[in-house]
Structure 1
């Protein structure tokens, strides 16, 4: 069976850490920021970790 191709859209958005965890950016942080509170914008600016069954699917898409 041939190798699976890497899903490039996923590869651009998700980073694999050295310990094998998957990190992603949070949504809603690019525009319309004037109406959002400072605390909300700070929370949006942090990275999120992908866990569980979604991590399994993403790792398959990345070919890990």
Structure 2
């Protein structure tokens, strides 16, 4: 059997913390930023923990 390959695209989008949590950038910060309120764009900066429903799929794509 060949080795399982990890999904390189997913590896670029998420990061695994020291405790094993998966964090990613929040959606909605790519375009149309002039329309969005400053408070909203500030809130969307930084990384957040990925939703519990997506963790199993992401771990599989990362080869974990």
Same structural fold, with TM-score higher than 0.5 when normalized by the shorter chain:
yes
How well do the aligned residues superpose, as a CA RMSD in angstroms?
Answer: 1.4
- Provide TM-score, normalisation by structure 2: 0.85
Q: Which ranges of structure 2 fall in alignment gaps of 5 or more residues?
A: none
Aligned partners of 2:22, 2:44: CA distance in 1, in Å? 17
**Is residue 41 of structure 2 the alignment partner of residue 16 of structure 1?**
no
- Report the Cα distance in structure 1 between the residues aligned to 2:9 and 2:56, rounded to whole angstroms: 16
Deviations 1:19-59 (A, max 9, x none): 10000111121221111111100111131211423111101
TM-score, normalization: structure 1? Answer: 0.85
Alignment length (residue pairs): 64
Structure 1 residue 41 corresponds to structure 2 residue 32: no
